[in-house]
Structure formats: structure tokens, C-alpha cells
Amino acid sequence: MNNHSLAASPVPAVDDAGPPPRVAAADLLRDLDLTSDELRSLLDLAALVKRSPRDYAHSLNGKSIALLFEKPSLRTRLTFELAIKQLGGDSLFTEGPVGVREPLKDVARNLDRWVNGIVARVFSQATIADLAHWSGVPVINALSDLFHPCQALADMQTIRERFGGLGGLKLAFVGDGNNVAHSLMLCAPRLGMDFALACPPGYLPNPDIVAQAQGLAAVAGVSIVITHSAEDALAGAHAVYTDVWASMGQEQEGAIRRRAFHDFQVNDALFALARPDAIFMHCLPAKRGEEVSDSIMESGRSAVFDQAENRLHAQKALLLMLL
């Protein structure tokens, strides 16, 4: 596990005053904390766990995991709670702002003495970085403003199941250049996939993360394309992915975003530009009639509930690797 892969990443510096953490932990703070080999191994393990769950039923016996959620959740919370329980461990859930009632570094050092791992779903990547800095147990990013690595792992597992492999495939993302898009573009090239992102002007992904993804693509001999044309992005795509136009915390921008993203809805006409065997993907929750039509969500080529199921299996594999 490489915790320093994104040394140049646009992540705010942690508060490093005071004593250092007691021990170093293997964390998943961002997608590149998994090396390419570890990423492939994790997907292999997720497939094994899915096929033979009873073989891993006691793997986390005696271990407790804290779930710190600043944002509400259905899939992330339930799949982590189920994953921990089905592996034989215990989970403890708390919801609300982290580091407000008391300093975050104190929260982290308390948890360090009590639990064997921390799963955090937060607003800011800086919160994830601080938790890892001050705690000696593994920290898993269950969503931040910059990355959503657990979602990307389940997505790659889903695509691999549908096509029998990942090398040579093209993944097209239509919509906001957000945390999900960041994670997908960092995973795709390391698995031999082309990646295209179509978004309206003003909603481009983080340029530093794009540069990292393009560097990975150059090494792998695949492509990363950022465009304002949904039609260009979907050409030749094996998987077509979208997300809500206004994420949690952006609700006040809803009307502005609906106008900006009007031509980026994944509907029957747009989806027809992808390959005939293309699948549709969405991390959910979906706003039918906005970023995707109901006909696409309910079509036989929709993989959205396979993705939701695979959150459970991919996160089991991640917990096994870290703990």
C-alpha cells in the first residue's frame, strides 16, 4: 500500500503541530494509495469474496471499525456495516460534523485507542488527511470532495463482470467533473481502459488530478479525454456513467446546474451513440428526468444495482487488505 503516491496532490496540508501519530497505517485516502498491482489484486479478491462469502466469515473476528459520517448515506453506510458484520467484526456509527465539538486530532487519537480502523464519509479531503495523520489505524475514504475510491472499486468490479475483463475497454463519464469522475479517471488507465469525460464549461475536473490521470494513461498506452461534447465522449464507449448534477451541499445551485447540464442527460438518443453492448452506470441516488431518463435507468443494459451490490463485495476486499 503506497501512502505517498499523490505527493503532489491538491490536498490541503494537515495540522502537524504537536506529537506525531504513534504508528504508520496503510490507508485508502485516495485512489492512488493502491498501487496498480494492489488495485488488480483487490478486484480479484472482491470476486472471490462475492463467490465464496463463507470462506471469509470470521476474518475480522475481534475487530471494531468506526464509521464517521458527516453526510447522510444509504449505500455506503449499509454496505460497510454489512461488510464488517459478515466478516465477523463490529461497527460503530456516528453521524455529524467531525472536529467541531473537539479538535479533529483529538477525535483521531481517541479512536486510535479504541478501534481497529476508521471509515469516514466527509465533506473535505483535509478531514480524511487529518484523521490518517493523527491515527495509527487504517483510514478509509468513504467519500470526500475530491475522491470516492470505494465507489470506483465497485464500478471496476461491475464492468469486469459484464465484459470479462477491463483491458481495451472505454469508460465514458457524462456530467460534473466531480469526486466520482476523479476516482474513475485515476483507476481506469491503470486497468488498461480509455476514459472520456464530457462536461459543460465551468464544471471541469480538478486539473491536477487530470494531469495525474494523463500521466498514468501515457504509461499504460491508453487515453484520457476531457471534452464538452457528450456525443464525442460516448463514441465507442463500453460503459456510460453519469451522476447527479447537484451533489450534496450544492442544492442551492440546482437551477443553475440544470440549465448548464441540459444537453448532458443520458437518454435513449445519447446512449445510442455508445457501443451496442454498452452498459449504463450510476453511483446513485439518481434523479430520473435530470441526469438520466427513466427508460435508461430501467433498461436491460442498466448496471446500477449491480454496482450497488458490488459496493459490499469490493469493500469487504478492501477491509481484508487493510486489516
Domain boundaries, the chain: 31-148+310-322, 150-308
Is the Cα torsion angle 188, 160, 286, 172 positive or negative in sign? positive
Q: Which of 30, 75, 121, 257 is catalytic?
A: 121
Is the Cα torsion angle 161, 164, 168, 170 positive or negative in sign? negative
Which residues lie below 8 Å from residue 178, measured CB to CB, with a gap of 6+?
A: 205, 243, 247
**What's residue 25's pLDDT?**
61
20 has pLDDT over 50:
no
Q: Identify the residue whose cell numbers are 460534523.
A: 97
Let me know if the fold of 31-148+310-322 is the same as that of 150-308: yes
**What's residue 173's pLDDT?**
98
CATH no. for 31-148+310-322: 3.40.50.1370
Which residues lie below 8 Å from residue 195, measured CB to CB, with a gap of 6+?
A: 170, 171, 172, 173, 184, 185, 188, 189, 213, 217, 222, 223, 224, 225
Q: Is 311 a catalytic residue?
A: yes
**What's residue 175's pLDDT?**
97
Q: Is 121 a catalytic residue?
A: yes
pLDDT in tens, 188-247: 999 999 999 999 999 999 999 999 999 999 999 999 999 999 999 999 999 999 999 988
Q: Is 31 a catalytic residue?
A: no
Q: Is 307 a catalytic residue?
A: no
Q: Which of 75, 190, 243, 257 is catalytic?
A: 243
Q: In terms of pTM, does the model score above 0.75?
A: yes
User: Domain 150-308 in CATH: superfamily?
Assistant: Aspartate/ornithine carbamoyltransferase (3.40.50.1370)
Q: Is 199 a catalytic residue?
A: no
Q: Which of 75, 282, 283, 315 is catalytic?
A: 283
Q: Is 150 a catalytic residue?
A: no
For residue 262, which phi and psi values (nearest 5 degrees)? -50, -40
Q: The C-alpha cell of 233 is what?
A: 465522449
Q: Which of 151, 212, 265, 307 is catalytic?
A: 151
Q: What is the arithmetic mean of pLDDT over 45-52?
A: 98
Q: What is the arithmetic mean of pLDDT over 73-79?
A: 97
**What's residue 247's pLDDT?**
80
pLDDT in tens, 267-323: 999 999 999 999 999 999 999 999 999 999 999 999 999 999 999 999 999 999 999
16 has pLDDT over 60:
no
250 falls in which pLDDT band (50, 70, 90)?
Answer: confident
